[in-house]
């Protein structure tokens, strides 16, 4: 399908539905360049959705691939045409198979929106056309527009005589022409997948010495990331000091740096209390909280953004060179990605600032972190990838792997690596999550995950419990860090159109086969 002005544009207001072109209450302006930029002129209106429809008979000899709202949950897959399937941000329609390396007659059609849109966008594809929904709500309520709204820029592209994977890589560059990436390769250690929140200053120093020893011959300095567990109040804010096991966060960062790593740290900006507990600390005025949940800070509130800015500045002042911020999509919308059936917000809640769309508010939150990071690397976890592109250097592209359950690692890690590695260095640096080494997972399985991550061209993080690996296994880990520290490799999934857990890959042109299964099969 060639890109053109939609055949039908429908605007959903608070209490009525309008067909654009037959109403004087609003109009849509289409700016044409390489794509089509959609601007809604509806000042003074309470707007909810803009639906765009292109009518054209679709090919039936194709499989369809869509993306996800935030992380993948082992659910990214190629399927036949499924009209009710809602596909966030982009989708592909392709014939043939990437496993068969003869691409004569191959055609992959790509449909998507440019990263950094002011709407939450998702697609539908049926036998007779394509529909794009632009969610321009404020939470679950209409946005009270004060100005014209540039909703999104749309791209349709056709790629012939190439694999679907190559087409997706090229299309990601179209959607994200100016990625925000690091000037060095990010790799190293994260303590979550063996410590799971139970750690201390002394244990982090021990971990730091281990990763430094494993990477001692690497020119590129590794990261050591302190994950959840350092803060004094579990999930309660503020994040301005450590707990009794972490008495001096600034001194800890200095000691880590003196040993020879780049210090990193985890933070959950918007939460002030666990779901199953009352707030431990009443730190902020009630108007700072989201109307949906009185334990979540509202990122549209100016003073909340000031708090986010100050927290970021404090962390950087302590000496941390990487900030991993987590949970914000769940905290804002109250849902994990796999629970979202169409668009993220449900119910009857809105943000403090009712004049901006959810997408605008979320981007402003991400931008506040970036603008106050003083060059520190920002990695989002549970963030919206299409909105953090251009604002964060790295993004965790899938749900958690595990240090104890191999089936979880195989489901979440392998799926997101294969289906989202095309976004790597186009949207951001992709992170398919850690190799969790505790001794509970057989090394023959974890070795494969370590091997493919190190050679994927994306970030490698390892969580390794001390004294678990023998000398030979430590040497394999050392070699993986060495390879990952430069990331000169190219990974291409081959059987990703046939399975959600691809096993066949080209790595630097060489065919490599992995076996992600156990003798007992999957029990996830």
Mean pLDDT score, 416-430: 98
**Arithmetic mean of pLDDT, 363-370:** 98
Lowest mean pLDDT among 84-98, 461-475, 490-504, 508-522: 508-522
Residue 347 contacts by C-beta under 8 Å, 6 or more apart in sequence?
Answer: 140, 292
**pLDDT confidence of residue 257:** 98
Q: pLDDT of 193-242, one tens digit each?
A: 999 989 999 999 999 999 999 999 999 999 999 999 999 877 777 899 99
Mean per-residue pLDDT of the chain? 95
Residues 6+ apart with CB under 8 A from 102: none
**% pLDDT > 70, the chain:** 98
Name the least confident of 152-161, 231-240, 388-397: 231-240
Question: Given this model, what pLDDT does residue 17 score?
Answer: 96
For domain 180-396, which architecture applies? Alpha-Beta Barrel (3.20)
Give the residue-averaged pLDDT of 148-152.
Answer: 98
Confidence bin at 58 (pLDDT 50/70/90): very high
- Residue predicted with more confidence, 503 or 274: 503
User: How does DSSP assign 458-511, residue by residue?
Assistant: S-EEEEE-TT-S-HHHHHHHHHHHHHHTT----EEESSTTT-SS--EEEETTEE
Banded model confidence at residue 277, pLDDT cuts 50, 70, 90: low
Residue found by looking up tokens 């003074």 in the block = 44
Running DSSP on this structure, what letter comes out for residue 523?
-
Parallel/antiparallel/unpaired status of strands 504-507 and 491-493:
antiparallel
Helices (H), 135-200: 164-175, 192-195
pLDDT, average across residues 33-59? 96
Question: According to the model, what pLDDT value does residue 451 have?
Answer: 98
For range 7-13, the mean pLDDT: 97
For position 274, what pLDDT does the model report?
Answer: 67
Phi/psi at 37 (5° precision): -95, 125
pLDDT for the residue 49: 98
Angle of CA points 423, 164, 91, to nearest 5°: 65
pLDDT band at 8; cut points 50, 70, 90: very high
> How long a stretch of residues is the chain?
524
Is it the case that residue 424 has pLDDT exceeding 80? yes
As a whole number of angstroms, the distance between CA 265 and CA 400 comes to 17
Q: Which two tokens stand for residue 38?
A: 């959609």
What strand order describes the sheet that includes 223-226?
429-431, 394-396, 377-381, 322-326, 262-267, 223-226, 187-190, 460-464, 435-437
pLDDT band at residue 348, thresholds of 50, 70 and 90?
very high
Domain boundaries, the chain: 8-175, 180-396, 402-524
Q: How many whole angstroms separate alpha carbon 455 and alpha carbon 484?
A: 7
What are the beta bridge partners of residue 27?
41
Residue scoring higher pLDDT (378 or 274) = 378
pTM flag (> 0.75) = yes
- 409 pLDDT band (50/70/90 cuts)? very high
Question: Which of 210, 218, 318 has its CA nearest to residue 265?
Answer: 318
What's residue 279's pLDDT? 62
Q: Determine the average pLDDT of the residues in 314-337.
A: 97
HSE value, Cβ hemisphere, 13 Å, CA-based, for 314: 15
pLDDT for 278 beyond 70: no
Report the pLDDT value the prediction gives residue 464, as an integer from 0 to 100: 94
How many CA atoms lie less than 13 Å away from 171 in the CB half-sphere?
A: 29
């Amino acid at each position: 399908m060639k890109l053109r002005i939609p055949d039908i544009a429908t605007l959903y207001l608070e209490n009525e539905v309008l067909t654009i072109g037959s109403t004087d209450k609003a109009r849509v302006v289409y700016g044409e360049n390489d794509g089509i930029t959609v601007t809604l002129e509806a000042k003074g209106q309470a707007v909810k959705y803009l639906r765009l429809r292109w009518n054209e008979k679709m090919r039936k000899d194709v499989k369809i691939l869509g993306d996800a709202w935030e992380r993948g949950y082992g659910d990214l897959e190629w399927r036949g045409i499924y009209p009710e399937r809602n596909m966030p941000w982009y989708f592909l329609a392709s014939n043939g198979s990437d496993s068969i390396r003869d691409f004569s007659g191959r055609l992959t059609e790509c449909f998507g929106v440019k990263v950094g849109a002011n709407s939450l966008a998702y697609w539908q594809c049926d036998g007779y056309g394509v529909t794009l929904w632009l969610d321009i709500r404020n939470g679950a309520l209409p946005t009270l527009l004060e100005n014209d709204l540039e909703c999104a820029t749309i791209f349709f592209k056709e790629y012939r005589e190439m694999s679907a994977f190559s087409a997706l890589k090229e299309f990601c560059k179209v959607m994200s022409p100016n990625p925000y990436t690091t000037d060095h390769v990010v790799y190293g250690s994260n303590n979550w997948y063996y410590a799971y929140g139970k750690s201390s200053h002394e244990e982090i120093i021990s971990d730091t010495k281990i990763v430094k020893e494993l990477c001692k011959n690497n020119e590129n300095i590794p990261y050591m990331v302190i994950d959840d567990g350092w803060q004094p109040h579990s999930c309660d804010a503020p994040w301005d000091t450590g707990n009794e096991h972490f008495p001096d966060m600034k001194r800890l960062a200095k000691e880590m740096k003196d040993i020879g790593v780049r210090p990193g740290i985890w933070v959950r900006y918007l939460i002030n209390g666990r779901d199953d507990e009352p707030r431990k600390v009443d730190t902020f005025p009630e108007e700072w909280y989201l109307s949906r949940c009185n334990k979540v800070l509202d990122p549209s509130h100016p003073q909340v953004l000031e708090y986010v800015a100050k927290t970021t500045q404090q962390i950087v002042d302590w000496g941390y060179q990487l900030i991993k911020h987590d949970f914000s999509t769940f905290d804002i919308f109250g849902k994990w990605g796999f629970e979202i059936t169409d668009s993220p917000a449900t119910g009857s809640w809105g943000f403090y600032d009712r004049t901006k769309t959810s997408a605008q508010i979320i981007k402003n939150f991400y931008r506040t972190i970036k603008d106050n990071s003083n060059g520190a690397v920002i990695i989002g976890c549970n963030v919206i990838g299409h909105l953090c592109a251009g604002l964060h250097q790295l993004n965790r592209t899938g749900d958690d792997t595990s240090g104890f359950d191999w089936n979880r690692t195989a489901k979440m890690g392998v799926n997101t690596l294969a289906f989202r590695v095309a976004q790597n260095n186009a949207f951001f640096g992709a992170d398919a999550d850690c190799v969790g080494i505790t001794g509970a997972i057989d090394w023959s399985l974890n070795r494969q995950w370590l091997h493919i991550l190190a050679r994927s061209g994306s970030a490698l993080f390892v969580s390794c419990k001390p004294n678990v690996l023998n000398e030979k296994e430590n040497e394999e880990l050392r070699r993986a860090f060495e390879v990952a520290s430069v990331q000169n490799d190219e990974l291409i999934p081959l059987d990703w159109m046939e399975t959600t857990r691809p096993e066949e890959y080209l790595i630097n042109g060489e065919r490599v086969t992995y076996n992600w299964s156990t003798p007992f099969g999957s029990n996830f």
